[in-house]
Amino acid sequence: MSSGTLTRKLGFWSALAIAVGTTIGSGIFVSSGDVARAAGTPSISIMAWIVGGLIAIPQVMVLAELSTAYPQNGSGYVYLNKAGWRPLAFLYGWATFWALDPPSISIMALAIVSYLATFFPFFSGIPGKLLGIAIILIITSIHYRSVKEGGLFQVIITAVKIVPFLIVIVLGFMYMNPDNLSYTPASVSEKTSLMGGVSATTWAYTGMAAICFMAGEFRNPGKTLPRALIGSVFIVLGLYTLLAVCVIGLMPFDKLVNSNAAVSEAVKYIPGLSDIASSFVAITAIIVILGSLSSCIMFQPRLEYAMAKDGLFFQRFAKVHPKYETPSFSIIAQVTYACILVFFSNLTALLGYFTLIQLVINIMDFVAVYKCRKRKDYNPIYRMPMWRLTTILAILGASWLAWGTFTWAPIQGMVAAFIVIATGLPVYYYWEKKHGVSNKKDEQVSGIEG
C-alpha cells in the first residue's frame, strides 16, 4: 500500500537518462545550420558548441547543490519557496502548467506524427492529431503505472536515441572531407561571431534540470543528482561537438550555412546512406523526440504535485496512486490538457512567448542560492566549487538566453508575463489565505538572516 507520498525508487542511470533524454531533442537537427550561420567559419562553429556546453556547467552545479540541500520534488518551485519568494515560486508553477509543459507535450507528439507522415501520408489532419493523442496516452500509461518501469523505459529509449547519432559520427569521420574544415569566408564583409554561435547552441543544451523535478524519487540523491547533472552536460557536449565536426566535415560550409536541415543533408554525403538519408533522419527524429516526450510526461507532473502538497495548487494534484505510487491525478490532468491542445494550431509561437517569464524565474533559481545558504536547514551534500563565481556564471549564462528570447519577441513576451501575473497572483492569494496557516512551520525554521 502507498504511504500517500512518492518514494525513492529511481537510481543513477534513470537520472542520467532523464537528463540526457530531455536535453537531446528535435532542435539538434536544424541547430547545426543555425550555429554555422551565426559563427561564420568551421572553427568558430565547433568552438561555439564547446563553449555552449561549458556555459551549462555552472548552471547544473548550482542546481546540484540546491537539489542535494532540498532533495524534494518540484525543482525551481522548491528553491524559490525556500528562498522566501513564495509568490514567485507559485508563478513559476502556474506558468509552467498552463503555458509550457502540456503545450510542449502536444508539440512533441505532433512533431512525431509529422515525421511518421513521411512514411504514412494518411496521418495528416484529424487522423494525425488522433495518432498524436494515442502516442501521448501510450507513453503516459507506462509512467502512470510505475515510476520504476518508467525509469527503465527512459534508460532504454535514451540509449536507443543516441545510437543513430553515433552512426553518423563514426561514418562521418570515415568519409569527411578535411578541406571542408578549413573553409574561410569569401568576403571580409561576411561576419564571424563566437557569441552569435554560442547563442544559437543555447537551447540545444537546455533540459538537464529535468531530474530536479523528481529529486524526491531518486535513491541516494546526494550522489545521484550531482553525478547525473554534471555527467549529462559532458555527454551532451561531447555528442554535439563530435556531430558538429562531422556535419561540417561532410558537407561544404557554404551549403551548411544555408541549410535548415543540416543533419539530414550531411547524411547524404555518406556512402551507403545517401539514398536513404531522409528516411534515416526521419526515423532518428521519431526516436529522439519520443525519448524527450517520455521524459516530459514523466517529470513534469511532479511540479504540480509538490505545489499541491504545499496547498498552492488544486489539492487533487497531490494524490498518490495507492498501488502504483505515482502522482496519478497530476499525470492524468497534464496529459488530458495536452491532448486537448493537440487540436490547436500555432502552439510553437505561444510556447515561445511564455518562455520569457520562465527564463527570468530560472535566473531567480540561481539567485536563490544566496538566500538559501543563510537558512539553518541548508545542508547540501554537494557543494559547488567557488560558489560565488559559479553562481555568477550561471546567472550570466541564463541571462544571455533570456535576453535572446526577449529580443526575439519583446512585446509578446511582456504580454505573456503580464497574463501570468494577472491570472496567477489572485489565485495565489486565495490559496495562501486558505492553506497558509499550515505553511508557517517552514517559515519558522528558515532562519533567514537580515
Residue 66's nearest CA partner among 259, 281, 215 is 215
What count of Cα atoms within 13 Å lies in the side-chain half-sphere of residue 351?
16
In this structure, the number of other CB atoms found within 10 A of the CB of residue 171 comes to: 18
Residue 440 has pLDDT above 60, yes or no: no
Q: Report residue 2's pLDDT band, with 50, 70 and 90 as the boundaries.
A: low
Cα distances from 449 to residues 367, 371, 374, in angstroms, run: 16, 9, 6
Given CA atoms 350, 352, 355, 356 in this order, what sign does their dihedral have? Answer: negative
pTM to 2 decimals?
0.92
pLDDT band at 445; cut points 50, 70, 90: very low
CB 33 within 8 A of CB 185: no
What are the helix and strand counts (H, E) for the chain? 19, 0
Query: Grid coordinates in use for 379?
Result: 545542508
Q: For residue 93, how many C-alpha atoms fall within 13 Å in the half-sphere facing its CB?
A: 34
Q: Which long-range contacts (CB under 8 A, 24 or more apart) does 107-113 make?
A: 107/347, 107/348, 107/351, 108/25, 108/26, 108/289, 108/292, 108/293, 108/296, 109/133, 109/135, 109/136, 109/293, 109/338, 109/342, 110/342, 111/26, 111/285, 111/289, 112/286, 112/289, 112/290, 112/293
pLDDT tens-digit series, residues 4-38: 789 999 999 999 999 999 999 877 877 888 899 88
Q: Tell me: pLDDT of 184 over 60.
A: yes
Please name the amino acid found at residue 372: C
pLDDT category, 188, cuts 50, 70, 90? low
Q: What is the pLDDT of residue 339?
A: 96
Distance CA 435, CA 384 (A): 35
Average pLDDT in the chain: 90
The helix-helix angle for 147-175 and 126-145 (nearest 10°) equals: 120
Q: Is the pLDDT of residue 354 over 60?
A: yes
Per-residue CA distances from 174 to 22, 171, 269, 279, 301 (Å): 29, 5, 11, 21, 44
Where do the DSSP E strands lie in 236-282?
none
In the predicted model, what is the mean pLDDT of residues 100-125? 92
> What is the C-alpha separation between 270 and 258, in angstroms, rounded?
19
For 364-368, what is the mean pLDDT? 95
Note the residue count of the chain: 450
Percentage of the chain beyond pLDDT 90 is 70
For residue range 203-243, list pLDDT tens digits in order.
889 899 999 999 999 999 999 999 999 999 999 999 999 99
pLDDT in tens, 379-433: 999 999 999 999 999 999 889 888 888 887 888 888 888 999 999 999 999 988 8
Task: Please give the backbone phi and psi of residue 448, each rounded to the nearest 5 degrees, phi first.
Answer: -70, 125
* 130-167 confidence digits (pLDDT tens): 999 999 999 999 999 999 999 999 999 999 999 999 99
Tens digit of pLDDT for each residue in 286-296?
999 999 999 99
The arithmetic mean of pLDDT across residues 45-50, rounded, is: 94
Cell numbers describing residue 103 = 503545450
Give Cα 85 distance to the centre of its chain. Answer: 23
Please write the tens of the pLDDT for every residue from 53-74.
999 999 999 999 999 999 999 9
